[in-house]
Structure 1
Amino acid sequence: MFKALPFFITICLIVQAGFAQQKVAAADVQNASVTFKINQVLQSNMVIQQNKPFKVWGQAVSGEAVTVKADWMLQPVTVIAGADNKFMAIINVPEAKKGDYTAHTLTAESHQKKIMLTDLLIGDTWFLSGQSNMQFAMREVKDAATEVAAATSPNIRILNVGFNWNTKPIDTLKGDWQKVSPQTVKDFSAVGYYFGKELQSKLDIPIGLIYSGIGGSWEQAYVAQDVMAADTMLNRVYLKPFFDDPKSKEKLDGVFSFDRVYQPFLIHNAMINPFYNLSIKGICWYQGESNRAERESYLRLSYAQIKSWRTAFAQGDLPFYYVQVAPHAYEKFDSTLNDYAFFREVQEKISAMNNTAMAVTMDVGDAKNIHPTNKKPVGDRLARIALNRTYGMLDINYEGPHVDYVAFKKKKAIVNFTPASVKTKLRTTDGAEPKFFMIAGADQVFWPAEAKIINNTIELSTKQVKKPVAVRYAFTNYPVTNLENENGLPAVPFRTDNWAEPVVAKK
């Protein structure tokens, strides 16, 4: 026969039971508010990245099973939602077959609720980002009416991500995957579309294109806070001024504002972070105009951006192909100014990083328009890089004439180019002599040079320089050039000297 429990122990047990019932009730309420869904990145009409593990992630009630099945899988994959009400299943995806545009389905099922994605294609997906020249839409390009009307490519799928920013990393986004048509492509990145169109034509597989960026934005806006905090220079140049600025305390309302797109990490949190679980083929980047006054800090920031994005995507050293800023005067029509040239020089140094390359734009700039309308060559050049470097089509040249060395012979300078960049002969777009070569003597004063194509070299001379010691090519702010190789790829600007950049007084 059991003795009666002491009164205070009985009361404690009753209270504990009450707390337990409250916890269960609270958990039931919390679970009741959890709606089973997959992440917004994953939608019908998208291109599933071929030949890589593919993550299917989203929200489900903690402890519930989630089963994922695609029509190319023999067996489904089942996972259990975690305590944070999130799940992630990883499935295998086969290699894309040339000419195969089969529409696939994928289902995710939990607690008697099923989500089905339809009209999925297996191919390659590229992530595009940057500021206004990457955002520049097809409806704005040269010959827009004709170009948009011809954009009937349902095997290219596009996702145009709506603008957003946040002080903390989030995983939601605005935008729908769509098939390319005149109606859907008109507001999509022209550089991105031309890039994807050329890939799809040469590879004959489905191509997915995501554009997530915004005009006017600065590069630091695309880099995570902790990445910049871990680097002394980046912390000093970008983070500290931000946190010292009263604007950093202002609430973000999701409405675009030019006076805030210089602020670090905010765009990254809302427009880059949501994609880190997605399998992709590579990245294309077009940005720099906003950061044009920077030098060493921009190079350091670019390295940090590329490295951190690759780490976050967790797919190895993803290809990172980027676009050189095009010639532009910024309303200072002085042909001797060269601050923009020094910035382009910094941009070129980014390509020293593994698996990166720069598309040159010296022939398609506009001194009076920061947004040149001839975007097809830019997209095509990015595609050339990808076809050669990523897809191994080595017969597709992607390099314009790139200086190897300059030989000085009495009153002349002979410019020699790397053999790979002049596999096809040098020429000019207009049949005239090459423009924008300058030579200097020991006095460091540069004079325009007479330039002649001799085989695959350029011979330079000028009466003003008796003994040349330095050569510069297209090393001013807005030289729209005419020198190229027979692949139509423009020569890369260069200088042979290491003289300091002149200080230009601000007006």
Structure 2
Amino acid sequence: MKKIILLLTILLSFAVNAQIKLPRLISDGMILQRDTKVKIWGWASPKEKIQLDFNHKTYKAETNAEGKWTIVLPSQKAGGPYEMTLKGNSTIVLKNILFGDVWVCSGQSNMELPMDRLKDKYKEVIAKAENPNIRQFLVPDQYYFTNEKEDFTSGEWVSANPVSVLQFSGVAYFFALEIYEKYKIPIGLINSALGGSPAESWISEKSVKKFPDYYQEYLKYKDGKLEVQIDQNDKKVSNDWYKLANNTDLGLKNNWSNPEFNDINWKTMNVPGYWADNQLGNVNGVVWFRKEFSIPKVKENTAKLILGRIVDADSVYVNGQFVGTTSYQYPPRIYSFNANILKEGKNEIAVRIINNSGKGGFVLDKPYELVLGKDTLDLKGSWKYELGAKMLPLPGQTFVRWKPVGLYNAMIAPLKNYSIKGVLWYQGESSTKKPSEYFSLMETLITNWRTQWQQPKLPFLVVQLTNFMDPKTEPVESNWAALRQQQLNTLAIPNTGLAVTIDLGEWNDIHPLNKYDVGKRLSLQARKKVYGEKDLVASGPLFKAMEQKGNKLILSFTDTGSGLLAKDNTSLKGFAIANNDGKFVWANATIEGDKIVVWNDTISNPSKVRYAWADNPVEANLYNKENLPASPFESDLSKKK
């Protein structure tokens, strides 16, 4: 009996091993790169003969000793749909295949941000998103240090429709819309991005050796042991913290979400705002907020509660009924619920906020309102609040997933056999701690990826950081500005482009909602630098050179288009100059033809200039007549002598 079981096990094992296995990318609905040779690859039994039938032709291969095989298809024109049949000891039929242009869309959260987060802003776009020629492959968010992965654990090609598009990258989708509208070529988007990731996490082991500190950090994680220890410890610390917060929360014990609860002795503060700026002070833990409001008889079936953004996590109740929760600070709080919960006259909202570090509360300059059909009730103003549980700050996590090499191994390496048109890159917020190294990191990353794809001229289109955080009234140093300069410097690398977005940000949100213009500006770069529209104005003014004449600096630019202008017909703003001492002051600026003259009567021998040099340079207003903004920059005559 044991021999029979053993024999069946061996035969079953052989049968399983004999099956042709394809990588996740090679699947139904895939978009393959047009006008170039493309690889179809996979696994089967060692020395198994593989036959591929496609477009009335047959291609053959044999697996190697490891069971790997590759077939190279000749260049194909854009079009489809096609079918592809693979035969070995088993048969696979792939359907609905298109040839078009494939773009890898990578970086951090602003590239990852899905259309679902933008659904209130772009309702009409989403409703019309029925296009089988725009497809996305969503790479799973994973990291791995030991070696380069050969495949993904999940993922499939999905065509755009009003439901599926909610999971598409917003930036990538708007880019694809623009390109498809212009050329009517199928567009495949490989969405391989992860929130919070620094550039070094997307570089291979071999390439990261150029940066000794990052390489040594990577080696600590290569065997996987430290990763497991840290993850276990972080989870325990976090679980213990939240367990203690929940167990000691007076609001949960005394049912502060109950609309009949007597909160007469609670303190009050204005919402939006932070309790650290009020009587409670800078404490962490659980704080409850309550607000009473009155409405006429409810005629709608659905209500929507908009609570801006909240730091950090919240649970929301209306008249004692739970209507929604969000576990971290970045997503907008938009909670739809059955309007039957509401009643004519008095109603009560209760919000339980858990803040684990920093200042907790309601983010300023965001909407706080109740929407009933066409009617909107403003909820800003006085709210009552009470401390539910006071906690020590939650210790910071290690975030192993952002360590060097890990994302490259898991989210980029499995792509290397898949032919692509180019790369869209939106990253940098997490690299602002060390802006001076960013150009070197990006030069290394771009070279690394071009080597991986065996495309020395692979187009690489970069989104420059938007404006963010509090504006400043005087010239200041800024890591965000310094990183934008490094991003501008990447244009020295051949076949790169830069989408300037210095006017598309929100001071209070690291994830601004205007992703349409980001995608459109990337598409302009692609149209000019990849698709060959040489006469297209694809960028705002880019600083070229300057010269000194007396107490003035004369600046020249490329990409001036039909001419330079100060937006809204006001005087030029955002320029600052300095002597060699580096003490910058605001400068007067005027447009003289295709040049700009800057000066300040207190600076007799200017040698340094900056434009839009701040985290959030709200007054910078240099554009070309095509309504594209100038890139922030700095320059120093003394360094060129």
TM-score, length-normalised on structure 1? 0.85
What is the match of residue 586 of structure 2?
A: 448
What is the match of residue 344 of structure 2?
A: none
What is the match of residue 18 of structure 1?
A: none
Greater fraction of residues in strand: 2
What is the match of residue 189 of structure 2?
A: 209
Q: Secondary structure at the residue paired with 2:131?
A: coil
- Aligned positions of 1:466-505 closer than 5 A: 466-480=604-618, 481-497=620-636
How far does the alpha carbon of each residue in 1:366-397 deviate from its partner, in whole angstroms, 9 at most, with x for none? 22211111112211111111111111111222
Is the 1:218–1:261 contact (alpha carbons within 8 Å) kept by the matching residues of 2? no
Could you tell which deviates more after superposition, 190-199 or 86-95?
86-95
1:402 aligns with 2:542: yes
What is the match of residue 93 of structure 1?
A: 75
1:170 aligns with 2:149: yes
* Separation in 2, partners of 1:470, 1:335: 13
Return the match for 1:39 from 23, 27, 45. Answer: 23
What is the match of residue 147 of structure 1?
A: 125
Note closer, same or farther for the CA distance 1:426–1:369 as it changes in structure 2 (3 Å cut). same
What is the match of residue 241 of structure 1?
A: 217
What is the match of residue 106 of structure 1?
A: 84
What is the match of residue 328 of structure 1?
A: 468
Q: Secondary structure at the residue paired with 2:188?
A: strand
What is the match of residue 224 of structure 1?
A: 204
Question: In structure 2, what residue type is equivalent to 1:270?
Answer: A
**By how many angstroms is 1:498 displaced?**
6.7
Counting aligned pairs with the same residue, the percent is: 31
Is the 2:475–2:585 contact (alpha carbons within 8 Å) kept by the matching residues of 1? no
What is the match of residue 123 of structure 1?
A: 100
Q: What RMSD, in angstroms, separates the aligned Cα atoms of the two structures?
A: 2.8
Question: In structure 2, what residue type is equivalent to 1:221?
Answer: S
* Separation in 2, partners of 1:247, 1:108: 37
1:284 aligns with 2:420: no
Note closer, same or farther for the CA distance 1:432–1:82 as it changes in structure 2 (3 Å cut). same
Question: In structure 2, what residue type is equivalent to 1:53?
Answer: K
- Structure 1 unaligned residues grouped into runs of 5+: 1-23, 501-507
* Separation in 1, partners of 2:542, 2:142: 39
**By how many angstroms is 1:180 displaced?**
0.9
Q: Secondary structure at the residue paired with 1:261?
A: helix
**By how many angstroms is 1:79 displaced?**
0.8
1:428 aligns with 2:412: no
Question: In structure 1, what residue type is equivalent to 2:66?
Answer: D
**By how many angstroms is 1:247 displaced?**
8.3
**By how many angstroms is 1:279 displaced?**
0.9
What is the match of residue 344 of structure 1?
A: 484
What is the match of residue 52 of structure 1?
A: 36
* Separation in 1, partners of 2:473, 2:200: 29
Q: Secondary structure at the residue paired with 1:212?
A: strand
**By how many angstroms is 1:67 displaced?**
0.6
1:190 aligns with 2:170: yes
Note closer, same or farther for the CA distance 1:326–1:398 as it changes in structure 2 (3 Å cut). same
Q: Number of residues paired by the alignment? A: 464
What is the match of residue 5 of structure 1?
A: none
Question: In structure 2, what residue type is equivalent to 1:321?
Answer: L
Q: Secondary structure at the residue paired with 1:237?
A: helix
Return the match for 2:503 from 349, 356, 363. Answer: 363
Is the 2:553–2:606 contact (alpha carbons within 8 Å) kept by the matching residues of 1? yes
Note closer, same or farther for the CA distance 1:307–1:150 as it changes in structure 2 (3 Å cut). same
* Separation in 1, partners of 2:552, 2:487: 30
1:272 aligns with 2:412: yes
- Aligned positions of 1:126-137 closer than 5 A: 126-137=103-114
Could you tell which deviates more after superposition, 435-444 or 236-245?
236-245
Is the 1:103–1:119 contact (alpha carbons within 8 Å) kept by the matching residues of 2? yes
Q: Secondary structure at the residue paired with 2:502?
A: coil
* Separation in 2, partners of 1:330, 1:63: 64
**By how many angstroms is 1:351 displaced?**
2.1
* Separation in 1, partners of 2:106, 2:532: 24
Is the 2:499–2:522 contact (alpha carbons within 8 Å) kept by the matching residues of 1? yes
Note closer, same or farther for the CA distance 1:333–1:84 as it changes in structure 2 (3 Å cut). farther
**By how many angstroms is 1:49 displaced?**
0.8
How far does the alpha carbon of each residue in 1:180-208 deviate from its partner, in whole angstroms, 9 at most, with x for none? 11211112111111111111111121111
Is the 1:399–1:489 contact (alpha carbons within 8 Å) kept by the matching residues of 2? yes
Q: Secondary structure at the residue paired with 2:190?
A: strand
* Separation in 1, partners of 2:494, 2:470: 32
How far does the alpha carbon of each residue in 1:333-383 deviate from its partner, in whole angstroms, 9 at most, with x for none? 976232221222222222211211221111112222111111122111111
**By how many angstroms is 1:118 displaced?**
1.0
Is the 2:220–2:226 contact (alpha carbons within 8 Å) kept by the matching residues of 1? no
Is the 2:607–2:637 contact (alpha carbons within 8 Å) kept by the matching residues of 1? no
**By how many angstroms is 1:414 displaced?**
2.9
Is the 2:468–2:508 contact (alpha carbons within 8 Å) kept by the matching residues of 1? yes
* Separation in 2, partners of 1:376, 1:258: 34
